[in-house]
């Protein structure tokens, strides 16, 4: 098992297990699933946290009671974050109850669970109206695939609500690399082209690639009285900047 406190880098600022985890996430996102799985196996570090793994399994299997208990047990969540996550889960649970015709269970969820959350009565009333309207219009789920897609969407929404290290922000490694590159570009006095940027070396534009001369063009036009002819004269002045 990897030591959670092991740090890498010359300044010792980077936690090794965090670095490995976002590398695994990046490998999955750019299509190298086998390499990502291999790194997970070798490092004993997974891209998904145990909490997220459990939530994913429970949501995809519609095990709502365990899912709610799981969210209640997660440490370190603010009351607002926990309420927002529970609201998303209960909303999906309620929608599926209505679709299956279990009105009594749906009402129980509304009265006991949703109303108990500190998310505001207006939000609960709005959700109740929307879901009951959908049911009244007969807009239920079409098939299992539609249900599965909605559950996957719920997981995606939860990932945006739950904080690290339970979840990882999308494209975390790419974001960090771009931040480092942008910082180098901002500190480059002679930066002139993004084509000069490379991850293989620290960014530094050569002065020779930076324009150090200005050109001023003056165009004089003279029209005849009949405005049928014109005389033109072009004057170019060049100044060399001493830097």
Question: What are 154-173's pLDDT values in tens digits?
Answer: 999 999 999 999 999 999 99
Token pair for 238: 């060049």
- Kindly list the domain boundaries of the chain, sorted by start residue: 1-47, 49-167, 173-206, 209-240
- Identify the weakest region by mean pLDDT among 51-60, 115-124, 144-153: 115-124
Q: Which two tokens stand for residue 161?
A: 């609500």
Contacts of 219 (CB under 8 A, 6+ apart): 232, 233, 234, 235
pLDDT in tens, 35-88: 999 999 999 999 999 999 999 999 999 999 899 999 999 999 998 899 889 989
When pLDDT is cut at 50, 70 and 90, the band that residue 91 belongs to is confident
C-alpha 37/C-alpha 43 separation (Å) is 10
pLDDT value at position 142? Answer: 54
The residues, ordered by sequence, that sit 6+ positions from 135 with a Cβ below 8 Å of its Cβ are 98, 99
What pLDDT score does 240 carry? 46
Query: What span, in angstroms and rounded, lies between the C-alpha atoms of 208 and 217?
Result: 24
* Average model confidence (pLDDT) across the chain: 81
| Residue 46 CB contacts under 8 Å (≥ 6 apart), including other chains | 21, 24, 40, 53
Q: Quote the pTM value.
A: 0.74
Average pLDDT over residues 16-20: 97
The predicted structure's pLDDT at residue 241:
45
């Amino acid at each position: 098992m990897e030591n959670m406190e092991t740090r890498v880098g010359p300044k010792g600022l980077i936690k090794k297990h965090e670095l490995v985890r976002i590398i695994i996430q990046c490998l999955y996102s750019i299509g190298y699933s086998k390499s990502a799985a291999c790194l997970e196996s070798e490092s004993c570090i997974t891209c998904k946290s145990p909490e997220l793994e459990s939530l994913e399994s429970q949501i995809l299997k519609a095990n709502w009671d365990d899912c709610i208990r799981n969210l209640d047990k997660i440490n370190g969540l603010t009351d607002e974050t926990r309420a927002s996550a529970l609201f998303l889960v209960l909303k999906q649970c309620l929608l599926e109850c209505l679709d299956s015709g279990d009105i009594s269970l749906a009402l129980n969820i509304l009265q006991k669970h949703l109303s108990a959350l500190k998310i505001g009565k207006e939000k609960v009333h709005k959700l109740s109206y929307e879901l009951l309207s959908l049911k009244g219009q007969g807009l239920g789920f079409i098939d299992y695939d539609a249900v599965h897609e909605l559950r996957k969407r719920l997981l995606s929404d939860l990932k945006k609500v739950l904080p690290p290290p339970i979840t990882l922000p999308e494209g975390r490694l790419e974001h960090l690399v771009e931040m480092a590159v942008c910082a180098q570009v901002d500190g480059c006095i002679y930066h002139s082209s993004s084509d000069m940027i490379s991850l293989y070396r620290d960014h530094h534009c050569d002065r020779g690639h930076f324009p150090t001369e200005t050109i001023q063009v003056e165009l004089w036009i003279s029209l005849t009285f009949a405005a049928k002819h014109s005389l033109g004269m072009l004057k170019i002045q060049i100044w060399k900047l001493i830097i």
